[in-house]
Homo-oligomer: A and B are copies of this chain.
């Protein structure tokens, strides 16, 4: 029995959803509404004390961290394999996944927080936000929400993030010019990981991600979007629009 606690199909939630659908595993879906701060509710922190999504619970074992969850799913459900058989390609898969976890994903996320969460935090007001922030288990997340609740990120911080995204784009295009998929000849967990940030790139940086500058990224994105598992993941619930509308945004 698998219970998956996840948000809408973007960022780290979409990574695990795609992997579940690729594997064809049955799972009970539990939507955690991040904009309603459900990830910090005692009902959820009883499962994941860090108060972050996604979390997988398999026969009572709690597995956290999307990249670890996907390795776990591949260990437990090896068919179809999502790790390359060649150890060097497998290492490339993990190096690129780590780059996404450490740089590409967080800096994409910072820009998303600025445009999406800063207006929401302003709308909710300082007192309501202070009450919510006090419930956040992890110090770095508390600091991120506190930043958003006040002035949001500075123009320098947003420029810094755009710089990291540009570097990520450069690296991704280079990887895809070397081989069909990010780790080598076969589709793998690092392609799934890349999907946590890549779909937003053509819209976020049209001057850098387009048919002339990054033909391989666009081909790869089309190949990803054509996968049934990706389509199933994208069809999962998304309460962001209704939550923003309810807040008057």
A interface with B by C-beta (< 8 Å):
58, 61, 63-65, 67-69, 71-72, 75-76, 87-88, 90-91, 94-95, 98, 101-102, 139, 160, 163-164, 167
Contacts and interface: CB of A to CB of B under 8 A. Distances in A.
Number of copies: 2
A95 B75 contact: no
A90 B67 contact: no
Which of A76, A91, A164 has the most chain B CB within a 10 Å cutoff?
Answer: A91
Q: Determine the main DSSP class of A at the interface with B.
A: helix
Contacts of A63: 88, 91, 95
Nearest to A93: B68
Contacts of A61: 88, 91
Contacts of A65: 94-95, 98
A160 B64 CA distance: 24
23 contacts: A63-B88, A63-B95, A64-B95, A65-B95, A65-B98, A67-B94, A67-B98, A68-B94, A68-B98, A69-B91, A71-B91, A71-B94, A72-B87, A72-B90, A72-B91, A72-B94, A75-B87, A75-B91, A98-B101, A102-B102, A139-B163, A139-B164, A139-B167
4 nearest CB pairs, A to B: A75-B87, A68-B94, A72-B91, A61-B88
